[in-house]
Every structure is written in C-alpha cells, then in structure tokens.
Structure 1
Amino acid sequence: MRVRGKLVAMAVLAAVVASVLLLVSGRAGAGGDGCRERAAAADERRELVTGSGPETLVIGDSYSVGLGVKPAESWPTRLPGRVRVDGFSGSGFSYAASGCPGADFATRAQTAVRDDTGLVVVQGGLNDFDQPVAELESGFDRLMKEVGDRSVLVVGPPNAPERADAVPNVDAVLARLAEEHGTAYLPMRDLELPYLPDRLHLTAEGHRMFGDVVAGAVAGLTD
C-alpha cells in the first residue's frame, strides 16, 4: 500500500509539473530554456536598427523579436523611419504576463524610451490572455506614464488560433484603454495571417503582412 501511495503521489506531481510546463510554453514566445535565453534573443533583436529618419520605438513580445523567423524578417523592419525594437518573448502589458521579472512593457519602457524617441509602437496582448482585466489596466496605465507625451500606436493581438478564444476580450480591453488615454489603436484580430505549426507565431509571410498593416497606420499618424 505504501508503494502504491508513493506511485500515486508521483503521478500527481508529474501531472502538476506537466500542466505548469504547458502553461509556460503556451505563451507567445515563452518557450525555450528560460529567461536568460529570452533576454539574449531580446538583446540580439535590439542590435538590429533599421531605416533612417525620425526614431520609432517598438515595444512588444515575441512577434517583435521575430521568434521563428530571421530577425530581418520580423514585422518591425517594414516600418518607416529609424526603427529600434525592444521585444521580449512571452511578455505583455500585465506585469505577470511573463514569468521573467521586469519583462512587462511598462518596466522595459523605463530604459527603452529615449529623449530622441518620437513615435512609440506597442505591440502585444497575446500573452495577457489569462490575466485579470485589472492587471491589464494597471500595466497599460503604467506604460502610458513612462511614454509621457509622445505619440503612441497600440497594436492589438491578431487572432492566433492558439489564443482565438481569448483574443476578442483582450482586444476589447485594449481598445477601451487606448480610447480612454487618447491613444491610437490598431485592431489586428480580423487580419487573416499565416502561422507556424504552433498556431501562435507568424511565418515570414505573416510578418510581412502584419508589418505592412502597421506601417500603413504609422504613415497615417506621421503624415
């Protein structure tokens, strides 16, 4: 009976561990070996600065990093101007969207936003799929305080099949918050995009399509 009890306990523990791993790996870019690897990927993407002219800063998640494609194929390369990217896989507006400390958008904006930063494009929402609305609101408010009086374009989450059930709610909350802050909002959930086999991240063609839509919105703000 003791042996059987131990086996049952081990099975329960294994199930709990598997559930935790599934939750972590299910986030947009939260897979891999941990925060150190994601930080290294963020640093690599940060080194790629494209274009020339007024500076645009992109703050985002694994989409902005270009997880699953080459950095040069990631959607921010389609934007006009001199584009810097501060992306971190698995991150979001909410502080706890990522399991990595200080990865939320507002905290990263403290160092990413510079004196010569003009437009700030904030892309995300997929990793906030399981966060309370209050946490989304708090993270959004903190981000807007860090950005200050700069122009901001918030790019909402696309309808990734792996997050399809949660996207409408996140999209609605972000659209409301953007309106309350007088910030431009670009909904992306009606855009049909090609995804990688994980049904969460974009193919190179998906990045091109995503980037071109955002570039059109940026052009409308800067004209």
Structure 2
Amino acid sequence: MPPSASPGFPRIVALGDSLTAGLGVSPDQSYPSKLQERLEQAGFHYRVINAGVSGDTTAGGLRRLDWVLKSQPRIVIVELGANDALRGHPLGTTYSNLQEIITRLREANTQVVLAGMKIPPNYGLDYTRGFEAIFERLAREYDVTLIPFLLEGVAAKPGLNQADGIHPTAAGYEIVADTVMEALVPLLDSHDF
C-alpha cells in the first residue's frame, strides 16, 4: 500500500455505481485508483476507498450509507442516479434518496462532492432536463461541491468509451480522475499535504 494510502490517513470514499467501480477496466484503472495516484503526486495524504457497485441506484447507495460512514470518511464523492434514470425511476424518488444521502453525510461532518450525470435524450426532454436539474438543485440547497457532469470530455467520444458507449476506457477514466481532482482540491486540508 502506498504511504499516503495508509489506513491512518483521512479517507475519501467514492460512493457510486459502475462508473465508480470501474466496470470493464482493471481495478487500478478505475477513477478512484487514478484519484489516489493524483493525490499522492500532489503530496496529499488521503486514502481513497472505492465504494462503487455496478448497477447501483440511489436507493442502493442509501442502503450502503451505514457501511460508508463506518470508515469515518472526511469526504464522500457521491456518483449515483444514472441507473435510476435509465430504469425510468420517478425523479422525485431520485432526488429524495440523494437528499437523504447528503443530509446523513453532513450530519456525520463529512464533506460531500456531488457528481452530476446526464442521460440520453431519448427519455424525453422533460425527464432528461428534470434529471440533470436534480444535481444542481441539491448542490445549491445543501451548499455542496458539484461536479456538473462526471463524464465531461469523455461522454460520446469513441476512443474514450468502451463498446457499450457508456463506460469509459482506461484513457477515459484518466480524464474523469482529473475532473474529480479539480473539484476535490479546494476541499483538501493544507495540513494533509
């Protein structure tokens, strides 16, 4: 285990679905693994825990929250909701689940980074726009850091996505890790350098 990933250092938990788990790439190519590398290279002493579960929904993330909180994370990156939308779940349910996740994390004095997602337009304009607006609304209402779109610069780019057109390749995850790192740096304590 690299020195900065040692169990004694503050934890950053990446709570999410297959995009966090790194479906289709080796574990060391997932964005949480790449984020760990970037933190180490920048001299930050944090341990990144990948709590991504392929196929997970906001309800699943909420059910796993007690487990996440047991690790006493300083920061949790919440990347959930895409599977809700792809299954046509009501937008209100997705919002409520994310709201409860954020509320419980904040009650535990954990900083939240909310990763926004987008879905294909074939779900209808109202649903698509409503889904995207959930993340902006929650970030504004709860004053949490927002990554407007986790897959910015990666989505719909053939060389950066696997054959399914949804999950990034190793090269795509490098860009995702850069995006997350950019959002994370302002939250990192200077004494954790």
User: What's the TM-score, normalizing by structure 1?
Assistant: 0.66
Q: Which has the higher contact order (CA 8 A, sep 6+)?
A: 2
* SS of match in other structure, 1:120: strand
Unaligned runs of 5+ in 1: 1-49, 96-103
Structure 1 pair 77–168 and aligned structure 2 pair: CA distance change class (3 A): farther
Looking at structure 2, the residues matched to 128 and 185 of structure 1 have their Cα atoms a distance apart, in angstroms, of 19
Aligned length: 161
CA displacement 1:117-136 (0-9 Å, x = unmatched): 10111113321212212101
Unaligned runs of 5+ in 2: 40-45, 155-159
Match of 1:109 among 40, 65, 86: 65
CA displacement 1:26-45 (0-9 Å, x = unmatched): xxxxxxxxxxxxxxxxxxxx
CA displacement 1:169-191 (0-9 Å, x = unmatched): 32211110121112111111672
Q: Which residue of 2 aligns with 1:42?
A: none
When the two chains are superposed, the root-mean-square deviation of aligned CA atoms in Å is: 2.0
Looking at structure 2, the residues matched to 196 and 116 of structure 1 have their Cα atoms a distance apart, in angstroms, of 34
Q: Which residue of 1 aligns with 2:187?
A: 221
Q: Which residue of 1 aligns with 2:55?
A: 90
Q: Which residue of 1 aligns with 2:153?
A: 192
* SS of match in other structure, 1:122: strand
CA displacement 1:188-219 (0-9 Å, x = unmatched): 16722121111111111111110111011111
Looking at structure 1, the residues matched to 104 and 186 of structure 2 have their Cα atoms a distance apart, in angstroms, of 24
Superposed, which structure 2 residues align to 1:1-223 within 5 Å? 51-52=5-6, 53-79=9-35, 80=39, 81-93=46-58, 95=59, 104-114=60-70, 116-129=72-85, 130-147=88-105, 148=107, 149-157=109-117, 159=118, 163-165=119-121, 168-188=129-149, 191-193=152-154, 194-223=160-189
Please say which of residues 165-174 and 176-185 is displaced more in the overlay: 165-174
Give the C-alpha shift of residue 112 in structure 1.
1.4
Any conservation in 2 of the 1:92–1:105 contact (CA below 8 Å)?
yes
* SS of match in other structure, 1:174: helix
Q: Which residue of 2 aligns with 1:39?
A: none
